[in-house]
Amino acid sequence: MGGMAAMAAGAISAEQTPAVFRIDCQSHIYPPEMLELMEKRQDSPRVYRKGDDRYVVISDWHRRILSKHTDVKAKLADMDSSGIRLTAISINDPGPELFGKDGAAIARIANDYLAGLAKQHPTRFIGLMVLPLQDIKASLVEMERCLNNGMKGILLYSNLSGKFPDLPEFRPLFARAEEMDLPVLLHPAYPMTYEATKGYEMAAGLGLMFDTTIALTRIILAGILDEHPKLKLVCPHVGGTLPYLIGRIDHQTMVLKRGAERIKRAPSEYLKQVWLDTVTPIALAIRYGYDFVGPDKLLFASDHPWVDPKLIIDNIRSLKLSREDENKIYFENAKELFKL
């Protein structure tokens, strides 16, 4: 075990009050160097300033960067106030695949920044790498470099510059992740349904959720979880909309025989192999995820700074779960997943 991993493991092995000991599995920060480079770009993805604010632009979607997206001290303070001992930290979108020939350089900038944070705060952060998946060979090289630099998982965008991750060109990623016992955490990207959801500013509320739902369903129906049965796959936001729709997917594939050519079991059985995180503003969704995949497959996560961690904690608390199950959700499942 490397020094950073050993220190993180030491932090988790220490005596803690379970009610204030949590691992956050989804939390974001923008590397300053990445933002500076994006400010110099004329084409998407880029960053521009308006007054005191900065905005990220992907295609014609503009989103304001929150002050806490670049403030490590503020993130640590929010972790402390929410009883979060350790955070699996990642960049937000855009990912390297949107930067064309510069993708490998962008991935290195992002990954070096996150690995540096984890080394600077070894008991508070572990890093999730991003990969330049427009070049699978470069991605496998970068994955090895990041592993040697102590990073603990892969952030995989729900679409890779318009391509879903089940496509054959991305399969070596899943093979290598399974071989290395490295978790793959899906994260929504600029949604494929953007044109359909941009009205009423629904792209974040619906478009992003549809994107992870489609990506995860395609991964299941492509047979990737049969080909790689030990793959550690995580879907955020309590599975997007898939847990709610999975009965229909089962019926379509198993009864009507639509899309079942590459799978051996009902899609719902594969979905139960996937970890779901707890990022949702409604407790009922967490309850549904808990009932569907069970306490061993739920991971506490906040989506900070977009979401106040206390909102998620209050939702979990309102479910009145057993202390044993709360501990699994708050830290035991993540400790096992990331081998801490």
Whether pLDDT at 19 is above 60: no
> What whole-number distance in Å separates Cα of residue 256 and Cα of residue 38?
48
**169-216 per-position pLDDT tens digit:** 999 999 999 999 999 999 999 999 999 999 999 999 999 999 999 999
Domain assignments of the chain as residue spans, ordered by start: 3-31+70-337
Residue (of 221, 265, 213) closest to 238 by Cα position? 213
Q: How confident is the model at residue 12 (pLDDT cuts 50, 70, 90)?
A: very low
CB 211 within 8 A of CB 189: yes
For the entire predicted model, the pTM comes to: 0.93
> What whole-number distance in Å separates Cα of residue 100 and Cα of residue 309?
34
**227-270 per-position pLDDT tens digit:** 999 999 999 999 999 999 999 999 999 999 999 999 999 999 99
Question: CB neighbours of 259 closer than 8 A, spacing ≥ 6?
Answer: 221, 252, 253
Question: How many other C-beta atoms are found inside a 10 Å radius of the C-beta of residue 20?
Answer: 12
Residue 18: per-residue pLDDT: 46
Whether pLDDT at 3 is above 90: no
Rounded to the nearest 5 percent, the helix, strand and coil shares of the chain are 50, 15, 30
Q: Which CATH class is domain 3-31+70-337?
A: alpha beta
Whether pLDDT at 100 is above 50: yes
Residue 178: per-residue pLDDT: 98
